[in-house]
Amino acid sequence: MTDRFNLPARLLHWTMATMILAMLLIGAAMVTSLADYHALVALHRPLGALILLLAVLRLANRWRHPPPPLPADLPAWQRIAAHGSHVALYGLMLALPLVGWGMLSAARYPIVLAGPVVLPPILPQSPMLAASLRHVHTGLAYALVAVFLAHLGAALMHALIRQDGVFASMAPWRSRR
Amino acid sequence: MTLLNDLTGAPPGMTGRSLLLRLSTLGAVVAGTAGGFAYAGGWLSPGLLTPARIVDRFEAVNGPHPGFRRNHAKGLCVAGRFAANGAGARLSKAALFAPGQVTPVLGRVALAGGQPYAADAETTVRSLALLFRQSDGEEWRTGMNNIPVFPVRTPEAFAAQLLAAKPDPATGKPDPARMAAFFADHPESARAAALIKARIVTGGFADSTFWSLNAFRFVAANGSVRPVRWAFVPERMATAETPARAGQADRNALFDTFAAQVRQNPQRWHLVVTLGRVEDPTADATQPWPPDREGVDVGTLSLTEVTPEAPHTCRDINFDPLVLPDGIAPSDDPLLSARSAAYAQSFTRRAGEAKAPSAVTGAPNPGAAL
């Protein structure tokens, strides 16, 4: 069973993949929309908080249950790219919600999740910091789009072309092999 | 095709045709996802009216004023409290309406327009923005004007009006032909402009009524939802004599008079909530509701302090009208989301800019006070 990610890892992966894809699309649409801005922001905040929470759970699970090893015949550059992109993915999954939370704190907005549920601020009020973090948030989001696309491309490469069991180790269904 | 097989790491048995098909599928999925982002981000719709383009238009019309709000640029900070009388508790479950509840309030009085150093004029639209801080961490922010209806119905009409009302450099006034063309295209704005022109312009901030302009919904503890509009109605008797009209040389006469009034006595307003009926328009801020609608006085706002804009005062607050506590919800008015979006854009821009002191110091001699 060591050739597959464990069930919590696979569940978290596919749930978060859907959420992160939705989040990136919501984020992109939100900043250019007038009519739907409020509805999208109201969705963006709680979804971001949930992604942060799940990312922490996921790292804990990964630490207790290390992922299966990459195929031995994988070229070195692909091995480095795989490790690097996973560090970037985890880093961005944690950093984007934290920067968002921080920028709302510095701008002195109440951080409303749903109904009367409000998160406490994590930074003191500072307009300059709020503006900087707002730009950092956008920059990191573009980076996450890029890493997301690279991850998607690499996953399809393993699934459709290399057929080396890497995709199967995370696939929601059991492989025929 | 063995070279391609080697390059891609495909198994030796995979035919060139199959490999190319699989590579194309991969490319199509990745490109399609990237295209989805581009579409969502508006890159495929260059003419789209966005929050950034609305704020760009303010900057184009008013010129650059770094650090200041792009609209309602000239203002003065206020603070005080809101004492609920309990009549609002049956309408909204927001904590600030509970009987006997006293909620700290900070706010800002301002003049409409993007010119932070313009001289006060009696007909300039006055605004009152408030932030109610509930003890549970929720907030209610609202930005109101001393006009009974809003001049436009949609964000697109707002952007068109900004352009039409841009002062002609030669005369310093809007080009009448362009305004006429705008009103011809937007008859609802022509009707609203007539109502706004017909309003009684009172002497100053303290005796002005400030209207919510947009409709909202009040959600009660029992789940009932009502369309509402509201107004802050002054206790002070309205006077027609304005300091500006009296020929004073003070360019900040409206603000300075108000500051002196607050220092003398707390200035009070009653929050009167108008209960709409199902047939009343909630998505059209240019239309007044019938005058016979029930109004409920839900409490008293007392403003006790005035402070010039400075770090950590009202200057650094975005009075986003959609920062609402549980118990107050947006209506279907398209202007609300657009205001929220444009305010956020204006806030991010000015937050990141160096700040210059406000023209308004709250003292009659701005030169001496600085």
For residue B350, the distance in angstroms to the closest alpha carbon of chain A comes to 8
**What is the pLDDT of chain A when averaged over all its residues?**
94
pLDDT of residue B200: 87
Whole-number percent of chain B with pLDDT over 90: 74
For chain B, what are the domain ranges? 2-40, 71-148+199-369
pLDDT of res. B46: 86
Average pLDDT for B46-70: 91
Domain regions of chain A by residue span: 7-170
pLDDT score for B122: 85
How far separated are the first and last CA of chain A, in Å rounded? 13
Average pLDDT, chain B: 91
pLDDT at B370 over 60: no
**Residue pLDDT, tens place only, A70-87:** 999 899 999 999 999 999
Q: B353 or B237: which carries more pLDDT confidence?
A: B353
Confidence of residue B123 (pLDDT cuts 50, 70, 90): confident
Q: Say what the pLDDT of residue B165 is.
A: 86
Q: Which range is most confident: B118-122, B244-248, B329-333?
A: B329-333
Short-list B76, B80, B165, B160, CA closest to B126: B76
The answer to whether A34 contacts B338, with C-beta atoms less than 8 Å apart, is: yes
- Residue A32 to residue B30, Cβ atoms within 8 A: no
Percentage of residues of chain B with pLDDT beyond 70: 95
- Looking at the partner chain, which of A130, A145, A156 has a beta carbon nearest the beta carbon of B26? A156
Lowest mean pLDDT among A116-125, A167-176, B21-30: A167-176
pLDDT at B361 over 90: no
**Does pLDDT of A1 surpass 60?**
no
Q: Report the CATH superfamily, name and number, of domain B71-148+199-369.
A: Catalase core domain (2.40.180.10)
Going from the C-alpha of B358 to that of each of A86, B120, B209, B367, the distances in angstroms are 49, 13, 25, 12
B34 touches chain A (CB under 8 A): yes
Distance CA A26, CA B37 (A): 9
Please report residues of B whose CB lies closer than 8 A to that of A73: 9
pLDDT, mean of residues B208-222: 97
For range B219-243, the mean pLDDT: 87
pLDDT exceeds cutoff 90 at B246: no
**How does residue B364 score in pLDDT terms, banded at 50, 70 and 90?**
low
Tell me which of B35-44, B148-157, B246-255, B329-338 is least confident: B246-255
* Average of per-residue pLDDT across B299-316: 95
> pLDDT for A103-129, tens place per residue?
999 999 999 999 899 999 999 999 999
The pLDDT value recorded for residue B119 is 87
Question: Residue B247 — very low, low, confident or very high, per pLDDT cuts 50/70/90?
Answer: low
Task: Read off the pLDDT band of B109 (50, 70, 90).
Answer: very high
Q: Which residues pair with B102 in a beta bridge?
A: B83
Please report, as a single letter, which amino acid is at residue B79: A
Mutate to test the interface with B, among A20, A34, A99 (most CBs of B within 10 A): A34
Share of chain A above pLDDT 90, in %: 90
Min distance B335 CA to chain A CA atoms (Å): 8
Residues A48-56, mean pLDDT to the nearest whole number: 97
Tell me the C-alpha distance between B282 and B305, whole Å.
Answer: 34
| CB-nearest partner of A34 from B25, B34, B49 | B49
- Using pLDDT thresholds of 50, 70 and 90, give the confidence band for residue B366: very low
Quick: pLDDT tens for B252-283: 999 999 999 999 999 999 999 999 999 999 99
Catalytic: B312?
Answer: no
**pLDDT for residue B99 is more than 50:** yes
Helix residue spans in chain B (DSSP H): 2-8, 16-40, 51-62, 155-164, 176-185, 187-197, 253-264, 334-351, 366-369
Mean pLDDT of A28-47: 95
Q: With beta carbons less than 8 A apart as the criterion, state whether B301 and B269 touch.
A: yes
Q: Considering only residues 117 to 156 of chain B, which have any Cβ-Cβ distance to chain A shorter than 8 Å?
A: 136-139, 155
> Which of B17, B26, B103 would best serve as a mutation to test chain A binding (most A beta carbons within 10 A)?
B26
